[in-house]
Structures are given as structure tokens and as C-alpha cells.
Amino acid sequence: MENKIKYFFVVIFAVLLHGCDLDFSGFVKPHTPVNKRFAQSNQWNNSQSPRIVFIADTSYTVHIAGDSHIGSTNSIQALFDSSATPKTTALFIAGDITTGKKDDYDVLKKFTDSSSGVCYNFMVGNHDLYFNGWKSFYQYYGSSSYTLSVVTPTFSDLFICLDSGSGTLGNDQLKWLRDILTNYRSSYKNCFVITHVNFFRNRMGLTANPNIEEIHVLLDLFAQHNVNYVITGHDHYQYEETFGETTYITMDAIVEGFKNPTFLKLNISKEEIQHAFIPLE
């Protein structure tokens, strides 16, 4: 009886989606699998100069947000305005930047082309992959799996950005991540991982649910290599959890119309890391 009920709701859901403006094929399975996306990201990384930000001060600030779902650029404009200050070293948006439609990517590209003074770094979420959205993301922004180093006069930090838009890193990206942590993590004082799908779920969604076995592997990997923060979005629900020495943060959304949206602000010095949720004005 239980299986029949589940089947009934699946059928009803499929019928409703058929009448909506949604890429059902992309909703069920991305047009471009995660291993192929990672291969393209890695190719892009190898063709570019390493992402390194040098700063003269002994402390710095980073802003991180998620789930803008463009459409409208009002929220992302406010985010960029907040980040366009000498104190803000870099801005990260951890996926679901668009709805995946090419028109929305074109709006985003026009916006970023007209923006200056912000070191922005994007990753894909599941919504960015709808409507074959990876094609537009890669054309406009390149890699979704990469590292960024921040170098100060007294210490250096490592930011690792991951593609979890399919709910899994995939074998190739996981191997790449393990290699970075094993061979390079010890050269940096602090290490931050930023990706879309959150590890500790407030709810089970219909897409991009993480693989439990993979989560166990990642929790162990981050603990073993002393990752300071793992920062995610996806659930539109603000949440913090500490596992071992690692702080896991799920951000809320900055999508237009979201009640009381915030972004995450990290103040980082050699002595400490402070984080706070800042209202988006």
C-alpha cells in the first residue's frame, strides 16, 4: 500500500511539472554528468593562472552567499554593493545563482560585466544545471571546481570550491579533493571548503540529495586534514553544526522575495576566524 501511495504522488508530481516551465530531464538528471563537468573544470584550471589574492594587511574579510536564483538582479546587486569595499578580499556564491535558463545566465553575465571592484567566485548548484545550464556557466565563468589562495604578510589560507550540483562530487572530483588536502593543505594556516549541497539536512528535497556514504568519507577527510569551515547553501535554511574541529554552515537564500536574507561574513586573522550572518540590505 505504501509503495502505491508513493507511486501516486510521483505520477501527480510529474504531471504538474509537465505543465510548468521546468526542464524535467534536467530535474531528474543533469544533461552534463558531474565527472564530465569536473573534467572540463580541470581543463579550464590548467589553462588559467592560479587564483591567488595577495593582500597587504594582516587580516581580511570574505563574503559568501547562496541561492540567488536569477531572474532579478536586485539581491545580487545588493550583495555586490556590500562586497565592493577595500576590506572585502573575495566574494563567493555557492550555487543556484540562476535557474539554469540561458536568458538568466545572460542577465547574470551582463550584470557581472558591468560590476567592478569585486573578486567574485561562482560554483554551480542543481538549479544552475537545469535547461542544460552547465553549457552557459562554463562558457561565461569556466570552472566550478577550483582553489583560491589568500596570501597575507604573515600567513596564507586555502579556499576549495567544489561542484556538488548533482548531489555528489563524483569519483574524479573526490580524488582531486583528496590530493589537494593530502599534498597542499599543510602549507596553509586555514582551509575553507565551499560548495552548494549542505551536509546536515534540514529537509530532504527532491533533487541533489547527498550520498550518505560520500558524506561519511568527506566528514572523515575534513577532520583528518583540519578543514576549518565547510560552507554550503541549497536548503534556504540557516544552520550551524560542529563536527570535530570543523564548523559546518548552511546559509539561507538571497533569492528575490526571501524573508530576511543574509550573507555570511568571515573575518580572518592569524589569531582567529569570526563569522556572522549579515542582513542583505
For the segment 147-202, what is each residue's pLDDT rounded down to a tens digit?
999 999 999 999 999 999 999 999 999 999 999 999 999 999 999 999 999 988 66
pLDDT band at 8 (very low <50, low <70, confident <90, very high): very low
**Is residue 108 over pLDDT 70?**
yes
Dihedral of the alpha carbons of 171, 176, 181, 185, in degrees to the nearest 10? -160
Chain CA centroid to CA 29, Å = 19
- Name which of 50-54, 76-80, 210-214, 276-280 the model is least confident about: 210-214
Give the CATH architecture of domain 31-279.
4-Layer Sandwich (3.60)
**Is residue 205 over pLDDT 70?**
no
Closest CA to 266 of 88, 96, 119, 144: 88
Q: What are phi and psi of 186, to 5 degrees?
A: -65, -15
Average pLDDT, integer, range 20-38: 71
**Is residue 17 over pLDDT 50?**
no
pLDDT band at 212 (very low <50, low <70, confident <90, very high): confident
What is the end-to-end Cα distance of the chain in Å, rounded? 50
Average pLDDT, integer, range 139-147: 98
Average pLDDT, integer, range 141-150: 98
Contacts of residue 260, defined as CB under 8 A and 6 or more positions apart, other chains included, come to: 252, 279
pLDDT at res. 3: 43
Closest CA to 66 of 96, 38, 39: 96
Higher pLDDT, 204 or 108: 108
pLDDT band at 263 (very low <50, low <70, confident <90, very high): very high
pLDDT at res. 207: 58
Percent of the chain with pLDDT over 70: 86
- Name which of 4-8, 148-152, 213-217 the model is least confident about: 4-8
Percent of the chain with pLDDT over 90: 78
Domain boundaries along the sequence of the chain? 1-28, 31-279
**Is residue 16 over pLDDT 50?**
no
